[in-house]
Amino acid sequence: MKEAIQEKAMEMYMKLGFRGVTLDDIAQEMSISKKTIYQHFSNRNELIEAVAKHMLQEIKDEIDNLCQGQFNPVEELFAIRSYLRKTLEGKYQLPIFQLQKFYPEISQKIKQDQFCKMHDSVMDNLKRGIDMGLYRPELDLEFITRIYFAGVTGTKDPNIFPEDKFNIHTLHTQYLEYHLRAIGTEKGLVLLHQHLQETDENS
């Protein structure tokens, strides 16, 4: 029953956002009592946190799929960026916005989990890139991994990059290009230029 409640809650949150759905709404939709929900989740915030963690796990799983060797390290970063753009600006856009605005404590926990996942993913990407001669071997991997996360999250901050001055889609591509130019070898930059050229031709 706990999984069923969580699945129904997630379905409703995706459509209406966290603020638009009450426990009464979920109970009515499932034809159960609110008391039944409380048997599995002590309060509304606990259910929201469970759903938010499930959302993050779905994103983690998809990123893992993209990192199975089908792309070289340069292409991999663009593939992950493309997936996140479609996902975070699609079905997850409203719930994530409301999570950040109305449930900051839960949002902070999710952000910490997000950092751990991105840390591991970027670290693996850097090591593969160095092994393949695409990234400079003298890089401080821990520093690059953390500064990359800071940059990615920073470009999402409207106080730093207001929407009336920056196009969010172009901004993310610019940051990724900035990152790769900073760490790439001549061989890696050739792949970057090829990718950017192909993207321009297909846009």
> Can you give the pLDDT at residue 166?
92
Residue/partner pairs of 198-203 with CB below 8 Å, 24 or more apart? 199/78, 199/173
Q: Round to whole Å and give the CA distance between 116 and 107.
A: 14
- What does the CA dihedral 26, 32, 38, 40 come to, rounded to 10 degrees? -90
pLDDT at 201 over 60: no
3-state secondary structure of 134: coil
The sign of the torsion formed by the CA atoms of 162, 165, 166, 168 equals positive
How many C-beta atoms surround the C-beta of residue 197 within 10 A? 10
Helix (H) or strand (E) run with residue 32 in it: none
User: Which pLDDT band holds residue 194 (cuts at 50, 70, 90)?
Assistant: very high
How confident is the prediction for the chain on average, in pLDDT?
91
Average pLDDT over residues 131-151: 96
Inform me whether the pLDDT recorded for 172 exceeds 60.
yes
Q: Characterize 123-148 residue by residue with b for buried, 16 or more Cβ atoms within 10 angstroms of its Cβ, and e for exposed.
A: eebbebbbeeebbeeebeeeebbeeb
**Mean of pLDDT values over 20-45:** 95
Q: What is the pLDDT of residue 130?
A: 98
CATH hierarchy code of domain 44-202: 1.10.357.10
Which of left, alpha, beta for 32 (phi over 0: left; psi -120 to 50: alpha)?
A: beta
Residues 177-189, mean pLDDT to the nearest whole number: 97
- Does the pLDDT value for residue 145 go beyond 60? yes
Given a contact cutoff of 8 angstroms between Cβ atoms, the answer to whether 118 and 135 are in contact is: no
Domain boundaries, the chain: 44-202
The pTM of this model reads 0.84
pLDDT tens, residue by residue, 63-117: 999 998 789 999 999 999 889 888 877 778 888 889 988 999 999 999 888 889 8
At position 86, the amino acid (one-letter code) is: K
